[in-house]
Structure 1
Amino acid sequence: MADKSIVVEVAYALPYKQKILSLTVPQGTSMRAAVRLSGIEQHFPEVDPESCPLGVFGKAVPKPDERVLEAGERVEIYRPLIADPKEVRKQRAAKAKAAKAEE
């Protein structure tokens, strides 16, 4: 019996540029393996396929080396956050409190 293949996508985005690569991989391929096979680092040299955080359709996956892909799924490569969201909210709340105190 012939091995089955599935089609998946690997996506990476910067504020000014994005790339979604469609590729055919053997059934049973892990998320990490799909990123390696995609060659995304040729388009974005800063991406390290061995250690970058990954997710599927907007949900982070804690163990991408173990997570097997299903046909049609999109692997997303995540970048480090520029600012800590909790800290930004705290600063915004402090600013709003100060503005309200001035009224």
Structure 2
Amino acid sequence: MGLALRNGFISIEIVAALTGRHFTKRLQVPEGTMIKQAIKFSEIKEFYPVINWSTLKIGIHGKIVHPETILHQNDRIEIYRPLIVDPKEKRKLKIKSK
């Protein structure tokens, strides 16, 4: 069941799987809240204290977005960890090893 909404607020979710730990949090935030503000409200940076946040990409429902993006009802903010190996490079290495 969803959270009961207060007037002027929207319901969002923030998810991340960084350093082997999974973070999920549902929040109600004021309408007009930006992603970077919602991340601060979520306290995710305390959950992952050693992460270099400037290197991470952020998305909403699988699409990369800017931290100043305004959130809408039921948006799911996804925080992506950097790739360990570029997928194209991985395929090249796999072919060479055969």
Structure 2 residue 47 is the aligned partner of structure 1 residue 43: yes
Structure 2 unaligned blocks of 5 or more: 1-5
Unaligned runs of 5+ residues in structure 1 are: 97-103
**46, 60, 70: which one aligns with 1:56:** 60
> Per-residue CA shift, 1:61-80, capped at 9, x if unaligned?
1x221x11111111011111
Q: Distance in 1 between matches of 2:47 and 2:59?
A: 19
The 3-state SS of whatever aligns with 1:69 is coil
> In angstroms, what is the RMSD of aligned CA positions?
2.1
Question: How high is the sequence identity, in percent, across the aligned residues?
Answer: 37
Runs of 4+ in 1 over 6 A off after TM superposition: none
TM-score w.r.t. the length of structure 2 is 0.80
Higher strand share: 2
Q: Distance in 2 between matches of 1:87 and 1:37?
A: 38
How big is each residue's C-alpha offset from its partner over 1:9-45, in whole Å with a ceiling of 9 and x where there is no partner? 1111136321111111110111111111111011111
TM-score, reference length from structure 1: 0.76
